[in-house]
Amino acid sequence: MPGYAGNGRAILLRDNAQKFLFQRETNLVGRASIACQLERVNRSFYPWGASFQLYFTDISGVPADPGVFEVDIQTSDIDLDIQYCTINALTGAGSLNANFAGRLELPNFYAKYVRGVVKTLTNAVYTTLLVTR
């Protein structure tokens, strides 16, 4: 199961690319995802943006109710576990559509690294978190 690989091991996420931070994973409460370093090719488009797609399924891939949950999106300028700070979060049923999927867009942030952290999740479901740059 991929998780935060450790200090200084963020994966490069190129412009117009996607990376699964969590891909159909279980038992994630308290875990941080892999971290991505956002590619900075064109300096004229600073600050940088990214979007996050979160969804929950059962073992068969059918949308499933996560119950009470909080998934934090964290950013940092230094790829050290203790430096990541929550910039936004998806929480509760109000942040999901009828198929238990939610999106979060961060169009203007300056941090170099991003990751997700599952703070709470009451139901045993598969969790997927995708970042798009």
Distances (CA, A) of 133 to 63, 89, 90, 91, 96: 25, 18, 18, 22, 21
pLDDT at 71 exceeding the cut of 70: yes
Angle (nearest 5°) at CA 1 between 71 and 14: 70
- Confidence (pLDDT) at 42: 64
Nearest one of 92, 87, 132, 82 to 111, comparing CA atoms: 87
Measured over the CA atoms of residue 86, residue 92, residue 95 and residue 100, the dihedral's sign is: positive
- Confidence (pLDDT) at 46: 62
Give the whole-angstrom CA distance, residue 127 versus residue 69: 11
Domain containing 70 equals 11-132
pLDDT at 123 exceeding the cut of 80: yes
Instruction: For residue range 73-95, list pLDDT tens digits in order.
Output: 999 999 999 999 999 999 998 99
Other C-beta atoms closer than 10 Å to the C-beta of 96 total 20
Indicate the number of domains in the chain: 1
CATH label of the domain that carries residue 124? 2.60.120.1110
Q: Is the pTM of this model over 0.75?
A: yes
Domain assignment present for 5: no
Domain assignment present for 2: no
Domain assignment present for 122: yes
Nearest one of 54, 75, 61, 58 to 118, comparing CA atoms: 54
